[in-house]
Chain A
């Protein structure tokens, strides 16, 4: 679950007045928060009808696009930062989506639930069942999360693609977690860029 603490961590990585694109922006509350706290000019990308109405209610610029089919509307390197919050694990074409983020933006921020959290590990190792938790609240048969991964997995992914990790924050239920993050953290936030 995204909390205000996570919003604050994301905001701390964003320069004042930056041009921000929020992919899968939901009700637009992160963008609204960033425009209040950092004065960003931004757009949300969303494809859910209810979320789009909520974005309009929240005064957020929202563009209806299906992320999986690409963002041809958006020119190369036209944003300072592209955010994908709690959505990467639900993308079918993970690699393509991340590549698209770094095509349209100079930097990317992703947040995702850490599958390596110890409670998830014990549920699968000892209980023999797929983990269900506050951060992964779905049963295996109704989950939108098609690509579950851990903090270590994501770092390996960045290394393999020569992405430079610029910042990392890990939270456990809204509190920053600096000790054994892949074991004790529930939510990971990364800021990264393509290799220079």
Chain B
């Protein structure tokens, strides 16, 4: 499947975007990709929300670049669990990101320079609001499903609360209803690594062609530790050396070498200001906070049916966090299916191939989401 990135430009006379922080974006772009065909009554659209470091390139490959597979290509495509022969799938790059949508690296039209530190902080709710505008732009009123893993799952949850009439199914994978103090702590260490890098220049590094690469790499190394289970790290690396002890601080253990490689690779394609903002959006996400901490109350407007999936060895967003959402949905008498997938990989499992996980998603899309579309298609015809 060949993917083609597209850009939607939002500017006057379209209304400006009011952000949770109070800041206003007069104009902005959203990069997106679509796969499959929108049916006649526009009832088969599925929005995929991305997690921390991903983008609108969800599935397929770019023309002539076989190695450019989308980040959830194992899940989404023709005949796959989310079958693009049946569904019209939309991937969107979030505001504040660095893959095409307006973000800190974009040129601020008011100054003619990169936004840098001036780019406002964005929240999960801001992303959801901007995604809703993309749907308006595409002429889609209602989503057959909104789906995401991790931070993407939080957006799916937020969608069900903010736009209940526009979401028929919310698929929330490896997510949490808010971050724990430990989660926030890891994020803060990552941010400090970036902000204390001498090349950070208070966030305005792009204006002087500097890059806080080392800080960003360390931030990614910290993140990576939380994505993998202890057992998986032990299995994959253990105490293995690359070439044995050398009594130096060069990367000697395989795990050191792995983390440095991941950090280095990440720092070449990701933006430090984006990392700061995305981790902050994670920290702030807490839909229950506006309802006195009562998640059931926060979710009470939702009209969607929910599929919640967690992974047994995920310690970043553990199954207990998913069960909190399930309990709130049960209290609200909402339709919910909850699956706790037995997988060894930790948080990263949501991106990997696991037979039970994929069977659950495939069956849910085929049996619970698709039939409604077929009916409405027939009704339209």
Contacts and interface: CB of A to CB of B under 8 A. Distances in A.
Interface of A: 19, 41, 43, 49, 52-53, 55-59, 61-64, 72-75, 78
Contacts of A55: 337
Contacts of B360: 52-53, 56
Q: Is the interface of A mostly helix, strand, loop or mixed?
A: mixed
A63 B338 contact: yes
A10 to B, nearest CB: 21
Interface in B323-381: 323, 326-327, 330-331, 333, 335-340, 342, 356, 359-360, 363-364, 367-368
30 contacts: A52-B339, A52-B360, A53-B359, A53-B363, A56-B337, A56-B363, A56-B364, A56-B367, A56-B368, A57-B363, A57-B367, A58-B367, A59-B367, A59-B368, A61-B335, A61-B336, A62-B337, A62-B338, A63-B326, A63-B330, A63-B337, A63-B338, A64-B338, A64-B340, A72-B327, A73-B323, A73-B327, A73-B330, A74-B330, A75-B327
A43 B330 contact: yes
Nearest to B327: A73
A72 B323 CA distance: 9
Nearest to A58: B367
Contact of A61 (B337, B363, B367): B337
A58 B363 CA distance: 10
A72 B363 CA distance: 27
Contacts of A72: 323, 327
Interface string B260-299: 0000000000000000000000000000000000000000
A2 B155 CA distance: 43
Contacts of B340: 64
B26 to A, nearest CB: 45
B345 to A, nearest CB: 17
Contacts of B367: 56-59
Nearest to A49: B356
Interface residues of B, number: 20
Nearest to A62: B337
A74 B339 contact: no
A56 B360 CA distance: 8
A57 B337 CA distance: 12
A49 B360 CA distance: 9
Nearest to B319: A64
A52 B331 CA distance: 22
Contacts of A59: 367-368
A62 to B, nearest CB: 5
A63 B356 contact: no
B330 A75 contact: yes
A105 to B, nearest CB: 13
A62 B359 CA distance: 15
A73 B336 CA distance: 12
Contacts of A61: 335-337
Contacts of B326: 63, 73
A49 to B, nearest CB: 5
B333 A19 contact: yes
A63 B336 contact: yes
Contacts of A78: 330-331
Nearest to B365: A56
Nearest to A79: B330
B35 to A, nearest CB: 23
Interface in B304-331: 323, 326-327, 330-331
A55 B339 CA distance: 11
Most buried by B among A56, A57, A58, A78: A56
Most buried by B among A19, A43, A55, A72: A43
A120 B153 CA distance: 53
A119 to B, nearest CB: 39
B355 to A, nearest CB: 9
Nearest to A54: B363
